[in-house]
Amino acid sequence: MMDAEEKRKQLEKDILSLIAQKLQNGQIDLNRAQIIAKMLLDKLHPPLTLEQIYAIAPTLDYHFTELSAAILPIIDEHDEKIKNVVINKAEQMIKAGNLEQADKILKEALPKGETKNG
């Protein structure tokens, strides 16, 4: 598992690779690439915790939609971690006999269709 600095560097590398690719393909110009790079340096300035990275990542493509491809894996990873925590907590409640509480937690925390029984 990556630590926070490795995760930050990986995200930065993925975004910079995406910028370089889009520059090469003529999908963005040099000015836009410089603006994105400056924003990246401002927002992903170390040191950051994993939680800070997970909080910042979804905001990076608000004004730069071309970054979505680099950001989605981080968002998906975080969503999966949250889902696993919720499911583990619900399983503990079920084992303790708190079925109603477990059902409530699953319904509140997980989007429809994400629970095992729907």
Mean pLDDT of 54-68: 93
Contact 19, 36 (CB under 8 A): yes
Q: What is the pLDDT of residues 84-100, one digit of tens each?
A: 999 999 999 999 999 99
CA dist 77 and 86 (Å) reads 14
Q: What is the pLDDT of residues 13-31, one digit of tens each?
A: 999 999 999 999 999 999 9
Q: Domain-by-domain residue ranges, the chain?
A: 4-109
Other C-beta atoms lying within 10 Å of the C-beta of residue 53: 20
Average pLDDT, rounded, for the chain: 91
Other C-beta atoms lying within 10 Å of the C-beta of residue 35: 14
Percentage above 70 pLDDT, the chain = 93
Higher-confidence residue of 109 and 11: namely 11
